[in-house]
Amino acid sequence: MATINFVIFMCMPGDPTAVFANSARLKSQEQVEIVRKLFGLDDPFHVKYFKYIRNMVTFNFGFSYYNGRPIVEELQRRVINTLLLVGLSTIFAIIIGILLGVIAAAKRGKFFDSFSVTVSLITYSLPSFWMGMVLLLIFSSWLGWFPMGGIVPAEWAQNPPANIFEEIQGRIHHLFLPVFTLVLFQYGGYLLLTRAVMLETLTEDYIVTAKAKGVKERVILFKHALKNASLPLITNIALSFGFMLSGAIITEQVFTYPGLGLWLWNAIAFADYPVLQAMFYIIALCVIIANFIADLLYGVIDPRIKYG
């Protein structure tokens, strides 16, 4: 994974020092050459590769080409914002999607099933940036209930919050619309997947036997059917959390939310290769760890799966 990440950026077109030269206002070619030597861009391919591996393993990501700041510091500053936004929206989307998916499967062919599937298909298909812009138009521009963007009120720069409760309230006020946008965009996928795996499980013999014994429908749905149908859900949930640090690139841009997604978007726009390399590496690590955790959970959920 690290090697592929390295090769991708070595094959990228253009000269990354051009961006740094413009941002640092370097005019002479001698200054540009000094920068190239400083960043090790003139080193042989194999030297670059071993330096890169050493830096990635030690999480020494270097400095941004665009603003010259340490990447680790910028990462630490933004990661909490992204975890709040993507983490909360993912948790809400999973809970809502699974609950509605189980109910839709139990009421197959009825009005609730058709209505919930139709609505989830619509919200799952609509672009997230469009939904975000519509919510901003209605709740920010027309009604004035929520701010247009940012993460905290602008007046906090001059007058910080008096206590922790005021700070939490201000952050929730700014988080509501982007979180709501992502929940609308994500929950439909979990609903459709839950409904599909539940429909297959509800036809099993042990479910029919449980119904014949008079077991409550709620117990059958959530304790027996959902548990045995949860393996595909675990894989999907693990991947969702694995990609969490990639941020919500489009949504963060729409709401001017200073998270990792907006940082990644700006890095693409300004060809900030060190930032992109660091982000791709971290995202890949998170996905690998999430898959490993999902594999362990398989054995917990399904006793037929053994590791040996």
Q: Which of 158, 166, 133 is nearest to 148 (CA)?
A: 133
What are the two backbone dihedrals, phi and then psi, of residue 63, each rounded to the nearest 5 degrees?
-125, 155
Mean pLDDT over residues 65-93, rounded? 88
Structural tokens at position 250: 């489009």
Q: Are 297 and 235 contacting, i.e. CB atoms less than 8 angstroms apart?
A: no
Q: Which of 84, 127, 94 is nearest to 247 (CA)?
A: 84
Beta bridge partners, 209, equal none
pLDDT tens digits, residue range 205-248? 888 888 888 888 888 888 888 888 888 888 888 888 878 777 67
pLDDT tens digits, residue range 181-204? 999 999 999 999 999 999 888 888
pLDDT tens digits, residue range 243-277? 877 767 888 888 988 888 888 888 888 878 888 88
Between 17 and 61, name the one with better pLDDT: 61
Q: Which amino acid is at 156?
A: W
The length of the chain, given as a count of residues:
308
| CATH 3.40.50.620 for the 75-301 domain, yes or no | no
Residue bearing tokens 């194999």: 46
Q: Are 82 and 156 contacting, i.e. CB atoms less than 8 angstroms apart?
A: no
- In sign, the C-alpha dihedral spanning 159, 165, 168, 172 is negative
Delimit the domains of the chain by residue range: 2-57, 75-301
Beta bridge partners, 216, equal none
Number of C-beta neighbours around residue 58 at 10 A: 8
Number of C-beta neighbours around residue 184 at 10 A: 22
What is the predicted pLDDT for the residue at 235? 85
